[in-house]
A and B are shown apart, each in its own frame.
Chain A
Amino acid sequence: MTSPPIMPVILWTDALVFLLVAVIVVFAWHVRRRGHLLASWRKVVHSRSGMAAAVVLATFIAIGLMDSLHFRPRLAEDAGGLKVSYSVEMLSLFDVVATHLRTRPEKTYSAPLATHLFARETVEMADGRQARHFPRLMYGGAHLANPEAEWKWDVTKRALAGVAGAILLWGALVLMATFWLSKRGHRGVAEYWRLIWKGGSVVPWREILVTTGVLLLVLVPILLLSAKYHVLGTDKVGQDVFYQALKSIRTGLVIGTLTTMVMLPFALLLGIMAGYLRGWVDDVIQYVYTTLNSIPGILLIAASVLMLQVLMDKHAELFETVQQRADAKLLVLCLILGVTSWTGLCRLLRGESLKLREMEYIQAAQAFGVSGFRIITRHMLPNVMHIVLIAVVMDFSGLVLAEAVLSYVGVGVDPTMISFGTMINSARLEMAREPMVWWSLTAAFVFMLMLVLSANLFADAVRDAFDPRIGARPAAPAIISKHLPAAKNS
């Protein structure tokens, strides 16, 4: 009997991430069958900036999900094959895809696309004299025999090939999308083509396709170049910065989503109970959240994280590998952030529930003798869901930003875990170097900006669609009615 080549490992955050995915799928299925919810989501889908942001966000989420499938590869078996041991190091599906980024460490700093190290080193020459020069990189541009002469041409060639590939890929994608859409919309391909590029389709396909095109134009050349170079350079220990930036995405996504997920039950239950039951329940809940709120947030987080640190040091045997330990810390950080940030949502929900309990349909339910629990779950909960949804999407970007700050103060994620915060933290000192090492910081900046910006834009689209106060705007651009009287299906 042969043992499997890998041993799957499900980290705590992995399990929760996939639980979240399952919840979203169930929710989507639920929405499909309910007209009023579907109408609001249609508004999100019709938002131009929202859908462009969704394309970028989907790319990030895909990378994050790939990075959430962990396993431990099998080590080489000993002679009899009796004892199978698995590596202590845990890999994710993403690590396998990015093997060439992960397994080619240089000695130390090297600039983006460089062929030589960033710092001079003293090397002994063949005749015994010592000379100081920039040594060649072990992997970056190692295929070039004469880097000074060939480097420029090689980089240009690869970049151009990437651009050409991106254009081809994108063209194929656009054609496929147009054919598929025109078939679904029962109209001619040419007609639909014009419709898309005039911005007349109900779903903003033009914006979606253009965003995809820009993404491909940036990503494909980078991927081609990364086969032979370190596109974003390497850091102090020679680790590829591009790889680090990609790995940071998962940490950011986990913090942004799981935090709200762990705080939601508290906020929902307590908020609705306070608003619906009133009386002493309301007093107690208000007391709890005012107390929690009045402690400066960062101090509460710092104290909790320090406490956790001591606890983990005392029970080091609980964690098999370093990564499991780091993961547990990430999860608890989410919990702590959740505990400190549920108060705002709780207060909103309390206010809304106070309003709802005076509504006729709630009073009718009470008159019919429906139990309090049933009124809360059946009648209150669905009617505060829009507040919850808006809060969840609006909180996401703030949490991603908070992670960076917390890691800087030293109460964030585990130092061994790659995140935007740890990247910035270690790159901070490099700014003082002469000449300056700028690429780590720039990479963290660009990736973080893209993630947070697309999350913000998407959140705005969701808020615009679900906030009842913003109802006056037309759902779809007026141009539709001009071009297409009956554009309902697309």
Chain B
Amino acid sequence: MTAVDTTLPVAADGRSKLRRLVVIGNGMAGARAVEEILARGGGGTFAITMFGDEPYGNYNRILLSHVLSGEEDDGDIFLNSLPWYEDNGITLHAGVRVTRIDRFARVVFADDGSLTPYDELIIATGSRSFLPPMDNLRTPTGALLPGVFAFRTLDDTRAMVAYADRSESRHAVVIGGGLLGLEAARGLQRFGLEVGVVHAAPHLMSAQVGPQAGGIIRRKVEALGIRVHTSARTTGLLGADRVEGLSLATGAQLACDLVVVAAGIRPNVDVAEASGFTVERAIVVDDDMRTVDDPHVWAVGECVQHRGEVYGLVAPLWEQAVVLADQITGRDPSATYHGSRPSTMLKVAGVDVAAMGLQGPERDDDEHVVFTEPSRGVFKSVVVRDDKVVGATLVGDTSKVSFLMRAFDQGIPLPAERAGLLFELGGPSDEVGAVELADDAQVCNCNGVTKGRLVACVHADATTVQQVMEQTRAGKGCGSCKEQVCAIVQLAGRGVIEEDPAANWYVPGIPLDKPTLMARIRELELTSVSSVFTALAPAGAEDAKSKMGLASLLKMMWGEKYVDEKDARFINDRVHANIQKDGTFSVVPQMRGGVTNVEQLRAIADVAEKYAVPMIKLTGGQRIDLLGIRKEDLPRVWADLGMPSGYAYGKSMRTVKTCVGQEFCRFGTGDSTKLGIELEGRLQGMESPAKMKLAVSGCPRNCAESYVKDVGIVAIEGGRWEVYIGGAAGAHVRKGDLLATVDSADEAKTLTGRFLQYYRENAKWLERTYAFVPRIGLERIRSVVVDDAEGEAARLDAAVQQHADSYVDPWSEGAKPAEPGQFRTALPLTVLPTVGVRA
């Protein structure tokens, strides 16, 4: 044994007390693990040394098919170039292979004769191409027969490109009809080659999809001019000096001058095996990502076997790297890896394919929802077990993929009508698949952001959906494109997009989800937004984007005890009017149920004349809107109107639209106007996570559009009322779900309030009921709101009553401003308004 210093390194000057971390493998797993360690301050704990087989920095292996197809330059796919290692104080031995680990002496031996001591060791040796046994694969020297290529490394790809580019290359055959094989085939067509695919299994992409989907992919691939041979096992290669063809088990022969072997991968376990580590299908690790043999030796990535599973996709590797880093740095000793549920979404040979979990039903009571339309090249299948998605395959139309992936990952509730798993039946949607969308297609119609801009942002440096949305402002307008933005970012990131922990926070500035946040607020009795920041925000920092959501939540929780700090409020809520494009405001007085009278109309007409209101407009909610009012005029306008606020500005209950009802309508079966007026009086000004629009219709002709409201009530024959929830007819269109049919208007009123209170307490900030109801599930809402299964009904009713009792018309602030300069003009300081006025 060579003398090796295994004590903690203390340099001669006594300065450095860093522990030695050695990483074997500089691929996506090794580098990612190091990045995660650095992100946890590991740079101050560890002196890091990395060994990489390949003489490069670290690159995105997934994008090699893009290099082959010419979509990207080989320089574009680097994740960390050589200067990154230097900048982070990492010693990189690129092009050096570790041959053995002595875990008793804690030292690794490399093929350059070096020996490197470690305190902690990470094995991230990844995988290599599997080359199935076949005759004449190698020359007597052991090299691959010239013209035969694996497809795993940058060097493989570069050599393949050079060979394909030779003028004498005519025919190429790819062995393996999986994802990588099909991408290789498509990429090789760029060089003008005739390309065929030889696949041993009966259908293409047999690892990801079932036979039907495989058949549809085959048709698409063949339409591109790629010949496909399935159930075709390659037994040998032909040619003496270089490849000239291959022979199949059937005895048939295919002539070709280039062969790519893409028949799967095998974990690189030689070093671990030779060094005495437990290796089954791969290196066995525990839930901490430690090898089971040595607490100072860790392993991560495709070379790892965890709970019997070996993963060949990138997402599990990211999850493993996080746990490893939490453990090795001691940042979170409770972090554990429980395995992954990998899903893939890709475009293979021009076809969108998404696959996750099971390909088909496995148990007798598994539900299997299948749709196939071969002529259009579409196949969709979902496997449901115990009301959870346990598998899905989408080919040719991946418009439902983001929903299904969430359902698969997080077990969100499924639509009772299973067809909704495969098709858009209303509600939030991403109608056009992220893949089909052209680069110049506008995704966010509010802020004019194209798909290309989102993709560029991901390729630059964004690693979370949130960052992309921050940088491009996509999804920051009406929000209706958010799902599509997510889908595009996921696609562009090809799996390198991180799950954003902030996605579950109620507001971005406080790292807590809504239930936890509410519990802390109650526990600490935080009644103002500034006190919430002081107590719960990181470093007590205020966050402008969180203020409005917190103000709404605190008002809902504390009612009259809420301390209203005006700076926590959006301008609309500060001056109780809706800001317009020129800085003027719109004023909408309350007109309960859309019913008005001579006095109100006269007052409105007088105000419009007195203040030279540039536009008087009837709203969709059956009120009258006075547009172009100057901020400084608001108090006088309100006083002259003598009417209460109609709340046409806040995240709150807006209006209850009604039809004429039985009073005049010859079809009316219920007194819809009376119920609408009462509801509006009871719920007026109620703050909520997003606006709430209600309606009451006097008969199923539904003139008040009750089916598409947050809560819609419809009178039916026999004095009964239907209550619908979660409808929408704005940026999204969704027909509401029937919550209950009740016997009296009073019951309808109670259920409406109870549901809205439940929504206020449980919805995410800015989550409309059309998203909230499907997320929670109608059955669950019904059990709480209608059946009172949790004994919450009385409390919810009391909260509504308390709101009604403590309600104060905000327009009363006109007579007594709440703070200095509340109604002072902000802009411009010259004459207003400047909005073009219609004659």
Do A and B form a real pair?
no
